[in-house]
Amino acid sequence: MAIERTLSIIKPDATKRNLTGKINAKFEDAGLRIIAQKRIQLTKDQAGKFYAVHAARPFYDELCEFMASGPVVVQVLEGEGAIGKNREVMGATNPADAAAGTIRAEFAESVGENSVHGSDAPETAAEEIAFYFSDLELVG
Ligand code: CMP
């Protein structure tokens, strides 16, 4: 399988509970390498731009408020099949549906406050990585 890169976000519910290290250990244990990482505070407007694809959804405003409610850790994960592997490690969007041992099963509080985001396809991964990082910041 090809080496891929994917955009990951550790969300405010997780940074608030000091879970960054525990979540990063899940990525690294799964063979994903963190090749870029920074802790930032998004504005609601910036969160809205990142999640523009969801603008028509009923939860959009709540999602943007939440993503701007505290620090997030944005990261680029690299590895074989990294996009799919990261989604396996994260578990289903709704923690009630997430498989045992996944990040969302262990840490997520609700479908909205679900601890992590991960890109869903190669095209979105490239767009989402470019939203937060320049090429100079990616050190594989
Ligand atoms: P994420 O993978 O970051 O992509 C979009 C986010 O929207 C998703 O994770 C959830 O956090 C959020 N989301 C999806 N469905 C709902 C919902 N029904 N209510 C609130 N937030 C949701």
Binned average pLDDT, 10 residues per bin, the chain of 140 residues: 97 98 98 98 98 98 98 98 98 98 98 98 98 97
pLDDT value of residue 112: 98
Instruction: Output the residue whose Cα is nearest ligand 1's atom 2.
Output: 117
- The pTM score is 0.98
**Distances in Å between the alpha carbon of 115 and those of 60, 121, 129?**
17, 20, 18
Mutate which of 50, 75, 114, 127 for ligand 1? The one with the most ligand atoms within 8 Å of its CB, which is: 114
Q: Rounded to the nearest 5 degrees, what angle is found at the Cα of 36, between the Cα atoms of 32 and 41?
A: 120
125 membership: H or E segment, kind and range: helix 122-132
Active site residue 54: no
Give residue 46's pLDDT: 98
pLDDT at 53: 97
Please choose, from the candidates 138, 136, 20, the residue with its C-alpha nearest in 3D space to the C-alpha of residue 78. 138
Q: Is the CB of 117 under 6 A from ligand 1?
A: yes
Give me the pLDDT at residue 1, please.
Answer: 83
Q: Could you identify the atom of ligand 1 that is nearest to the CA of residue 112?
A: 21
pLDDT on residue 44 = 98
- Whole-number pLDDT of residue 54: 98
CA atoms within 13 A on the CB side of 136: 0
Which of 103, 117, 128, 132 is catalytic? The answer is 117
Residue type present at position 16: K
Query: In this structure, what are the phi and psi dihedrals at residue 4, rounded to the nearest 5 degrees?
Result: -125, 165
